[in-house]
Amino acid sequence: MVIADITVVPVPTERKAAYLDFSKRMAEVYRDHGAISVVDYWQSSASADPSDFHADGTSYESGELKSIADLAGASPGESVVVTVTTWPSLEVRDRGTAAVTSDPRVLETLDEEPVFDGGRVVGDSFEIAMRVQQEE
């Protein structure tokens, strides 16, 4: 059963290049420890209105619909990054994440200037419940 670890974190928009550099280095570590893929989704500068995700004719009070940026606590000047790390199984994920947290390449980053506030990372693990794909 494929497992996806999904994290959401606000990042200062002006630090996008630094974040992507950091993330590419970390993706290598995760891949070396069994991850199938690591994909970052950077919030579009033309973010959608929360009402775009509801049927026409639905009515909600102003401010009732939340965006992912709202849920992540993003401030003006921050963009939200959603990272999806895919693992072939829960067992590989558990071994891989344990190995990642003690990998010297990860431990070295503790001495770097942080690109984002790690205390604001929200994440969890998910299994595929449904998938619809376009035929190739």
Query: Where do the domains of the chain lie?
Result: 1-46+68-112+122-136
Task: Check pLDDT > 70 for residue 104.
Answer: yes
Q: Which of 5-9, 21-25, 111-115 bottoms out in mean pLDDT, i.e. has the lowest?
A: 111-115
Higher-confidence position of 58 and 81: 81
Q: How confident is the model at residue 51 (pLDDT cuts 50, 70, 90)?
A: low
In DSSP notation, 68-136 reads HHHHHTPPTTEEEEEEEEEES-HHHHHHHHHHHHH-HHHHHGGGSPPSS-GGG-EEEEEE-S-------
Query: Span 1-46+68-112+122-136: which CATH code?
Result: 3.30.70.100
What's the predicted TM-score (pTM) here? 0.88
Measured CA to CA, the distance from residue 30 to residue 117 in angstroms comes to 20
pLDDT in tens, 12-49: 999 999 999 999 999 999 999 999 999 999 998 766 66
Inter-axis angle of helices 90-102 and 16-32, to 10 degrees? 120
pLDDT for the residue 136: 76
pLDDT for the residue 125: 96
Dihedral Cα 63, 119, 24, 45, nearest 10 deg: 20
User: Which residue is listed with tokens 């205390």?
Assistant: 119
Percent of the chain with pLDDT over 70: 92
Mean pLDDT, rounded, of the chain? 91
Q: Give me the pLDDT at residue 44, please.
A: 83
